[in-house]
């Protein structure tokens, strides 16, 4: 049985060209279990932002591709959405996208006595550590210590 991560990667490879044809950026693909349901969650973005019509166009365009390839053995619900204003940065590409943004880092275990850190995302160093600027100081946080990075939108 294929793992959820492998299924998500297979689906990503199948639908990335479809997103590109529609002028969209494939932000993320997740295959998750939520209660009794299995959900294939496809997240799209574009320079102009995403509308409900974009989500519907993508849904209709990838449905036949997924039916043809049949990469998921079990029944599932397909969800297509935008990443939203506050978005999780899970991949290197996401982190690169978020450079200059205000972000919250959550740690698996306290780092410097704190479970979280907020600052401006500067990028990644050669070792892959996450660089955050706060109060004029740039701090490197080991990627393995970071549980979650989320952009913050201040109203």
Please, what are the domains in the chain? 4-81 (3.30.300.70), 92-151 (2.30.30.100)
Query: What SS3 class is residue 48?
Result: coil
Residue in 87, 85, 151 with CA at minimum distance from that of residue 120? 151
The Cα 149–Cα 108 span in angstroms is 12
DSSP letter string over 94-125?
A: HHHHTTTSEEEEEEEEEETTEEEEEEEEEEE-
Predicted pLDDT of residue 64: 96
Q: What pLDDT score does 81 carry?
A: 96
Rounded-to-integer distance, Cα 22 and Cα 49, Å: 13
User: Which of the four pLDDT bands, split at 50, 70 and 90, describes residue 98?
Assistant: very high
**Average pLDDT score, the chain:** 94
Rounded to whole angstroms, how far apart are CA atoms 114 and 131? 16
Q: How confident is the model at residue 6 (pLDDT cuts 50, 70, 90)?
A: very high
């Amino acid at each position: 049985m294929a793992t959820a991560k492998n299924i998500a990667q297979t689906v990503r490879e199948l639908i990335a060209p479809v997103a590109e044809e529609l002028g969209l950026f494939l932000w993320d693909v997740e295959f998750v279990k939520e209660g009794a349901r299995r959900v294939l969650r496809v997240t799209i973005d574009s320079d102009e932002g995403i509308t409900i019509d974009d989500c519907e166009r993508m849904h209709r365009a990838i449905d036949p591709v997924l039916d043809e390839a049949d990469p998921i053995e079990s029944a599932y619900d397909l969800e297509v959405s935008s990443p939203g204003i506050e978005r999780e940065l899970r991949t290197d590409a996401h982190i690169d996208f978020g450079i200059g943004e205000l972000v919250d880092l959550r740690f698996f275990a306290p780092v410097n006595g704190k479970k979280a850190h907020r600052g401006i995302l500067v990028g990644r160093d050669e070792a892959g550590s996450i660089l955050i600027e706060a109060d004029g100081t740039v701090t490197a946080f080991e990627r393995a210590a970071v549980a979650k990075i989320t952009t913050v939108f201040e109203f």
